Amino acid sequence: MVSTRWLLATLACRLLTTTAQSEETQRLADVLFAIGLVPDEALATAAAGLLVSGANATSEGLQQALSAPGIDEHKRTQAELFYSYGGSPPVYPSPKGSGAGDWAEAYGKAQALVAQMTNEEKNNVTTPVLSTRGCSGFTGTVERLGFPGICLNDGPAGVKGPVAENDTRANGFPAQLSVGATWNRGLAYWRGQQMGKEFKAKGVDVALAPVLGPLGRIATGGRNWEGFSNDPFPTGALIEPTIKGLQESVVACAKHFIGNEQVGCGEIGSAQEVTR
């Protein structure tokens, strides 16, 4: 069996006989040596050079692939826009929900309202605007038809922020992680029901809850408390009654199916979470 030390030493000989190490390579080598991942400075330099070379080769390969004939120009010049949700093909009419309950009356009211809107008014509703009511998210309004807009509000433990309806006080409900520790579906339903009542009383239409992730890859991750569990089974078992409870009063928005532990810097004024 070839030892790791011998392999790294061989790589060091090859790399050190070629060109001088780049600035990126040296910075990476310093990190590898400082954290003790590679105990020898020369070996750290060799390992860093190998990693940087691989990264550069991957980057060059991607650029070559995107430059190949037949590749859509937007993939090269506007990759983010091309692959974002906005690039998804539209489907008309939008499919109706398949959840439990009689939605016929609600769909009928919605269709009757939209049928009276001008194109400008429809655009106004589907373009997010800043809210003066304390909503986390807010659609446009159609005053001519008496449509006040749709108020969306965080979070997974209750109303967040100074929603203007009634007063600004709100209850802080137990975190989903605490409820998850009980394995109690009845408690999950009751919690969702009470949260839904308060969201509605504050003038909220859509509760941005419950949360399905994160997976708890890091025990000290700043988002772990938002989910019921890092196990999909109890999470699913508790999400369902929570949504039923919430939707007795407001629309629930289950969120963060994947990637919720991949958090960088928060918004200005909030704590910086580094849970990568």
Structural domain count, the chain: 2
**Tens digit of pLDDT per residue, the chain (276 long)?**
445 555 555 555 555 544 444 777 888 888 888 888 888 888 888 888 888 777 776 667 767 766 777 666 666 666 655 555 555 566 667 777 766 677 788 889 999 999 999 999 998 888 877 776 778 888 888 999 999 999 999 888 999 876 655 566 889 999 999 999 999 999 999 999 999 999 999 889 999 999 998 887 777 878 888 999 988 899 999 999 999 999 999 999 999 887 777 655 554 444 444 433
The two beta strands, 251-252 and 206-207, are parallel
Are residues 154 and 222 both part of a single domain?
yes
Contact 195, 155 (CB under 8 A): no
146 and 38 co-located in one domain: no
The pTM (predicted TM-score) of the whole model is: 0.62
- The per-residue pLDDT for 49 is 83
pLDDT at 274: 40
Residues 62 and 161 in one domain: no
Residue 95 lies inside a defined structural domain of this protein = no
163, 210: one domain = yes
Q: Which of 147, 137, 150, 86 is nearest to 113 (CA)?
A: 147
Q: Evaluate whether residue 197 is within a structural domain.
A: yes
Please check whether residues 183 and 59 belong to one and the same domain.
no
Residue among 123, 146, 125 nearest 137 (CA): 125
User: Is 8 part of a structural domain of the chain?
Assistant: no
Q: Let me know whether 142 and 67 are in one domain.
A: no
6 occurs within a structural domain: no
pLDDT at 71: 64
Residues 123 and 49 placed together within one structural domain of the fold:
no
If DSSP codes are grouped into helix, strand and coil, which group holds residue 137?
strand
Q: How far apart are CA 200 and CA 165, in angstroms?
A: 10
C-alpha–C-alpha distance, residues 25 and 54, integer Å:
11
Three-class SS of residue 93?
coil
Distance in angstroms (rounded) separating the CA atoms of residues 132 and 151 = 11
Give a yes or no: residue 11 inside a domain. no
Sole residue written with tokens 């304390």: 134
Residues 143 and 215 both lie in one domain? yes
- Is 124 a domain residue? yes
State whether 227 and 169 are in the same domain: yes
C-alpha–C-alpha distance, residues 259 and 242, integer Å: 22
Q: Is 138 contained in some domain?
A: yes
Name 71's Cβ contacts closer than 8 Å, sequence gap at least 6: 65
Is 36 inside any structural domain? Answer: yes
Contact 261, 274 (CB under 8 A): no
The verdict on 135 and 245 lying in the same domain is: yes
Q: What pLDDT, on the 0 to 100 scale, is given for residue 78?
A: 64
CA distance 63 to 240: 45
Q: Are residues 152 and 237 in the same domain?
A: yes
Residues 139, 232 within the same domain: yes
Domain that holds residue 195: 118-252
Quote the CA–CA distance of 194 and 188 in Å, as a whole number.
10
Extract the tokens encoding 77: 């010049």
User: CATH number, domain at 136?
Assistant: 3.20.20.300
